[in-house]
Amino acid sequence: MAILLDAWRHTGTRQRLFALAIPMILSNLSVPLVALVDSAVVGRLPHAYQLGAVAVGGSIYTMLVWTCGFLRMGSTGFAAQAAGRNDLQALRYILLQSLGLVLVLTLICVALALAFMPQVLVWMDTSGDLQVLAQEYVLIRLYGLPAALMMHVLAGWLLGIQNARAALWMLLTANSVNIVLDIYFVFGLHWEVAGAARASVLAEWSGALLGLFLAWRYVDKGPLLNFWQHILMWSNWRPLLSVNRDILIRSLALQGVFFTVTFQGARLGDSTVAANALLLNGLLLCSYALDGLAHALEALTGHALGQQDRRALRRALSLVSLYSLLAGLVFAVLFWLFGDLFIALQTNIPSVQATAENYLIYLALLPLITVWSYVMDGLFIGATRAREMRNSMLLAVLVCAPVAWLLQGLGNHGLWIAFLFFMALRAVFLGFTARHLSTWFQASA
């Protein structure tokens, strides 16, 4: 309690937190709004399999992009610590190295998608019409993959230097373009599902180009000392690659869980997979808002470690925990009271609406359970403690897997109960690991 009161009374910590969190919350909220618009637009088309195709195809593409989310996380932590040390040369190398990784990862992701997507759709055992549209949707979205990955790097680097407003403009531009083009392509040009995919591709490239322009404005323009020597030396890549490797493993496990929800829902029918997609949109809306606070904690954590300021880190962690809990309570109440309206705004298909309304209780519980994992993620990412994040995630998956298998008889209810249990385990294991917080300063000194 004394730590929380100290953090609350420290004006500088509150100001820095809000200066980072508010732009990131606004930009993060715009991301699920794109998914909501996709669902709302395609949900007005006459067939449930069209909405299901966007849900399944979007899940496959999102799995690729989110799996590479380590690009943002790694660049944020390293950039924040370099900014705390006032190391301008390190800041530039972090940006260049991370953008270089984008090229390699794009080739890998495209190859994996082309090789395995047809079989994945067959395994889902969906209708033939849904499979054809889902594959078309993913193939179009792949043209925007390099831009999506660049935005990961640029958003993380800009946040690391505590310039959240620049990251906000980049993401808002991309998402605004997507919303406008989505409506125009689907209804104006009658491109239907393909139109939603094309809108997203153009939006991603708009955001990436703006992000490159903003990063050029803020990066130090001095000479790159020993550039090729730095780039070609393996020891200079090892810290970044090591952290990104561990976050990649952690992200694969997390995305595997989300994909399993979609996969199992698809096996329960087109209406069920579509309903689950609408409910997960609510989780995305909540999670991106909470992630705004977590992103602010990333920057503050890295900066505090760079300056070796223990009190600053404890103040930031205390305030973010408090505000995140309050935000989770607000979302839980809103989903409980207005969940049916939230579903109706996304689709007018009666079977999908009726199915989704049976599971609104789980959507209301999720914000209260997931809030702590977001806070812990922000803490560990800012400290670049990726190994601990990886181990906690894998342990949660291993413990939850047999529980999910035992709950299969409950159908979609069992699927959602297992998902809630997994989210709770994530928070518990990360919180237990964070008890060694005081040793992080010794390690980074």
Per-residue pLDDT band for 358 (boundaries 50, 70, 90) equals confident
Composition of the chain by helix, strand, coil, percent to 5? 90, 0, 10
Half-sphere exposure of residue 255: CA atoms within 13 angstroms, side-chain side: 19
Q: Provide mean pLDDT across the span 251-277.
A: 81
Nearest of 115, 141, 114 to residue 53 by alpha carbon: 141
Q: Quick: pLDDT tens for 97-137.
A: 888 889 999 999 999 888 888 877 777 666 677 778 888 88
Higher pLDDT, 312 or 397: 397
For residue 145, what are its two tokens?
A: 């993959």
pTM here is 0.76
Give the pLDDT score at 290.
84
Mean pLDDT check: name the lowest of 264-278, 292-306, 404-418. 264-278
Comparing CA positions, the residue from 26, 81, 27, 65 lying closest to residue 440 is 81
Confidence of residue 359 (pLDDT cuts 50, 70, 90): confident
Structure tokens at 228: 């090729």
Say yes or no to pLDDT of 332 above 80.
Answer: yes
Q: Helix (H, G, I), strand (E, B), or coil: what is residue 383?
A: coil
Q: Look at residues 290, 242, 283 and name the one whose alpha carbon lies nearest to residue 77.
A: 242
In this prediction, residue 445 carries a pLDDT of 44
**Distance (Å, whole) CA 162 – CA 10:** 19
- Mean pLDDT, to the nearest integer, of 189-197? 84
Question: Would the pLDDT of 395 be above 80?
Answer: yes
Whole-number Cα distances in Å, 323 to 19, 121, 150, 267, 276: 14, 41, 30, 39, 28
Most confident of 81-95, 248-262, 320-334: 320-334
> Distance between CA atoms of 303 and 313, rounded to whole angstroms?
9
DSSP state of 46: S
- Name, in order, each residue with C-beta under 8 angstroms of 341's C-beta and a sequence gap of 6 or more: none
What distances in angstroms separate CA 169 from CA 34, 101, 127, 155, one per listed residue? 16, 24, 40, 10
CA distance 289 to 309: 27
What is the pLDDT, as a whole number, of residue 227? 63
CA distance 169 to 176: 10
Check residue 6 and give its pLDDT. Answer: 58
Q: Using CB atoms within 10 A of its CB, is residue 125 exposed (0-12), middle (13-18) or buried (19+)?
A: exposed
DSSP state of 407: G
The per-residue pLDDT for range 26-81, each reduced to its tens digit, is 776 666 566 667 777 777 776 777 777 787 787 788 778 877 888 888 888 888 88
Closest CA to 357 of 271, 263, 285: 271
Percentage of the chain lying above the pLDDT 90 cut: 14
- Determine the pLDDT at residue 126: 66
Single-letter code of the amino acid located at 301: T
Is the predicted pLDDT of residue 427 greater than 90, yes or no? no
Does residue 404 register a pLDDT over 90?
A: no
Enumerate the domain spans of the chain. Answer: 2-444
Provide the pLDDT for residue 399: 93
Tell me the average pLDDT of the chain: 82
pLDDT at residue 142, as a whole number = 92
Alpha-carbon torsion (169, 326, 253, 95), positive or negative = positive
Residue 415, SS3?
helix
pLDDT at 111: 92
Among 94-103, 306-315, 399-408, where is mean pLDDT lowest? Answer: 306-315
Is the pLDDT score of 443 beyond 60?
no
Say how far apart CA 22 and CA 28 lie, in whole Å: 10
CA distances from 151 to 102, 145, 212 (A): 10, 10, 9
